[in-house]
Amino acid sequence: MNDFTLFLKKFIRHGTAIASLAPSSRKLSLATVANIDWANTHTLLELGAGTGPITAVIAEKARPDCRIMALERDPDFVERMKVRFANVPNVEVIQGDVRNLPEILAERGLESVDAVVSGLPIPSFPPDLQEALFDNVRKVLKPGGPFSQITEMPWVYLRLYRKYFDNVRFRFEPRNLPPAGAYHCSGPKASVGA
């Protein structure tokens, strides 16, 4: 089964937990990571890696010694990712949930990372999971580090990300089906009420 068919099957079965009909295109993946300073990125955490289109672009762009950790909850996607990146020594595919980010990093001897890239369906998350996610991002992202988030709803969630970050920019990418883009954020806010 190809990535597209697997993705579509998962979307039909799990709906908003997947939140997209197809894996991100290469153009969207490139737009998503366009805010990353690759020369100074030594550790990068990707959240909701799916079948790995953004991971592939990260692996191309990153320094060879950059430690790339790609987190995904779905076991079938994880299995596919493990095969796909088996020969890329600086990519580690991790099965886990974003609720457990600090523990996942601690198990790897890390407290923080230089950059976080997310393909998570954050707007579909229940409020407690949204809060837990941004709390964890605040804990694990190094000061000044970028947080990049894909979206298939251009501009719609600017207010959501501005609730959690001091700096938020939207980058439109029309060469995706549907037209999409990425939020480029930094400066997680110290504390956010519901």
Ligand X SMILES: C[S@@+](CC[C@H](N)C(=O)[O-])C[C@H]1O[C@@H](n2cnc3c(N)ncnc32)[C@H](O)[C@@H]1O
The footprint of ligand X (CB under 6 A) covers 17-20, 23-24, 48-50, 53-54, 71-74, 77, 97-98, 119-121, 150
Contacts 24+ apart (CB under 8 A), 86-89: 88/59
Beta carbon nearer to ligand X, 132 or 187: 132
Write down the least CB distance from residue 119 to ligand X, Å: 2
Write down the least CB distance from residue 145 to ligand X, Å: 19
Q: Are strands 180-188 and 165-173 parallel, antiparallel or unpaired?
A: antiparallel
Beta carbon nearer to ligand X, 66 or 180: 180
Q: In angstroms, rounded to a whole number, what is the distance separating the alpha carbons of residues 194 and 192?
A: 7
CB 60 within 8 A of CB 33: no
Beta carbon nearer to ligand X, 166 or 172: 172
Secondary structure class of 116 (helix, strand, coil): strand
Beta carbon nearer to ligand X, 63 or 73: 73
Write down the least CB distance from residue 41 to ligand X, Å: 18
Q: What Rg value do the Cα atoms of the chain yield, rounded?
A: 15
Beta carbon nearer to ligand X, 106 or 153: 153
Write down the least CB distance from residue 156 to ligand X, Å: 15
Write down the least CB distance from residue 93 to ligand X, Å: 12
Q: What angle do CA 109, 42, 121 make, to 5 degrees?
A: 80
